[in-house]
Chain A
Amino acid sequence: MGRDLVLRNPVMTASGTFGYGEEYTDFVDMAQLGGIIVKGTTLNPREGNPYPRMAETSSGMLNCVGLQNKGVQYFIDTIYPRIKDFDTNVLLNLSGSTLEDYVKGAERIDALDKIPAIELNVSCPNVKQGGMAFGVTCAGISQVVSEVRKVYHKHLMVKLSPNVTNIAEIALAAEAAGADSVSLINTLMGMAIDAERRKPKLSVITGGLSGACVKPVALRMVWQVAKAVKIPVVGLGGISNATDAVEFMLAGASAIEIGTANFIDPAVSEKVAFGITDYCERYGFQKVTELIGALEC
């Protein structure tokens, strides 16, 4: 991938589903992953939304965590020293509610030697005046990406929201503003109701849908975006096994992220990495990169 992000294999873990990696070291050998993307971090600490923050749905779940985190400085002082020597790429997912937050956050992360890339979260549906405000218009994404680009010198991945009319246009705007890659999709906005109590199941009523149920939507969007942009596309959304991962690569993804599936099988990311290798051997692909966009249609 562009600007110094070299992955050992195409498998990464999605932000918000893998903690800081430490939560999963009993289950996963980091050396078997292309990278991990740690929990969405904002310039200042955030308490997140009230409980309840989760509702199970058919083949998926809704969450409205609302970017609970202790802020960039806490990450730098406390978390970074503990995880910087993981034998994999450690990417930070950076979110914000103002342009200034994104820029200041990115500046500080730029100084961390062992973080080769930021995944810029312009697509969290769960915070008021949240990143998604930037991520749903071409002008918004163009502004935030170009401002961050001025201060951030390493690989800049931009995570796109599926809650838009034409995701390819948004991806093109991110590319034009200086993104090195795009990752998609973030969660789809949804809602769940408890009919017995006639109340919403989530504290803030709406939340982001993830899990196996979103895969067809994600796959379609990855395919559309991969056809539109020249920068690498990272695919995510409901990937639960190696076959799912291969499908995203065939649709045009250069790498993939495993998200909600980590909750069901904490060891799934490593299994997917092995499974992709198996697939390549089975069908005679010499290199995994041969899968990218190899869809025949």
Chain B
Amino acid sequence: MTKQIADFKLVEKQDFGRSVLLRLRSDQPLPAIQPGQFVQVRVDDSPSTYLRRPISIHDVDFQKNEISLLVQQVGEGTRHLAQAKEGDVINMVFPLGNGFTCPEVGEKVLLVGGGIGIAPLFYFAKVLKENGITPSLLLGGKTETDLLRLSDYQQLGETFVTTEDGSLGEKGFVTMHSIWQKQSFDKIYVCGPKPMMKAVAKLAAEKGIWCEVSLENLMACGLGACLCCVEDTIDGNVCVCKEGPVFNTRRLKW
């Protein structure tokens, strides 16, 4: 798979308060991009941001050569990125890592997202739908406003919601949703905070369901060179950026 380094132009920015949706267009045709892969964004003019920021790919439009990123302001780098204006140039290295394993047609699939971890599930659900698989989505947040683009997610599959404060959907964590009692699944895909992913992975293991999670360890190079972002697996320390970010939970020492 060919990786590229390219300048993108910010063609549209949608503000969601703590998060922004950036629609970025390249002059060049995009290479193949799997759902679950990520980009490394260079953050310009921010003296305290030296390294690129790894951000999951939220959506892709191959006709328009566009990649969309859903970026939550976490630290200085993402805060700076969120201040970009339409017309600004943003440099990215992409596509990086290995994406989600595509399920078989006919399998029942659940995508579980927590907080900003819902970001890569959008493109994944879209690709699944194009391939004749309609996934179910279970999205969780602390509060209602964490559930970004909810109506757009609902177009891609039956969508269930939890919030910790009960402001939307069922109150509590994603693992407490009634769907776990009512439905069964063949494959579960998870992206969110680590404690949430561990809880879902545990639930999946108890039910004997195949499960993949997308990790976001601190990274420097994004290419498997620096060995900073390692996760402890049954095969020893492996780079999340190169061998992940998506891992089958059987491989992890959770």
Contacts and interface: CB of A to CB of B under 8 A. Distances in A.
Interface in B1-55: 2-5, 42, 47-52
Most buried by B among A52, A56, A262: A56
Interface stretch (A15-23, A111-119, A223-231, A273-281): A15-23
Nearest to A201: B218
B3 A26 contact: yes
Given A56-B50, A58-B47, A60-B50, A262 B221 contact: yes
Given A59-B47, A264-B42, A52 B237 contact: no
A251 to B, nearest CB: 23
Contact of A68 (B4, B49, B237): B237
B230 A53 contact: yes
A47 B47 contact: no
Nearest to B1: A26
Contact of A27 (B5, B49, B50, B236): B5
A144 interface: no
A266 B50 contact: no
Most buried by B among A17, A19, A61, A267: A19
B89 interface: no
Contacts of A262: 221, 225
A126 to B, nearest CB: 11
B50 A59 contact: yes
- Size range of the chain A interface in the assembly: 35 or more
Contacts of A267: 5
Contact of A54 (B3, B4, B47, B218): B218
B226 A63 contact: yes
Nearest to B236: A47
Given A24-B223, A65-B228, A58 B237 contact: no
A44 interface: no
A21 to B, nearest CB: 9
A58 B50 CA distance: 7
B158 interface: no
Contacts of B159: none
Nearest to B221: A263
Contacts of A68: 227, 230, 237
Contacts of A51: 217-218, 229-232, 237
12 contacts: A19-B224, A48-B227, A51-B217, A51-B231, A51-B237, A58-B48, A61-B50, A262-B225, A266-B3, A266-B5, A266-B93, A266-B221
Interface of B: 2-5, 42, 47-52, 93, 217-232, 236-237, 242
Interface of A: 16-19, 23-24, 26-27, 39, 47-48, 50-61, 63, 65, 68, 211-212, 260, 262-267
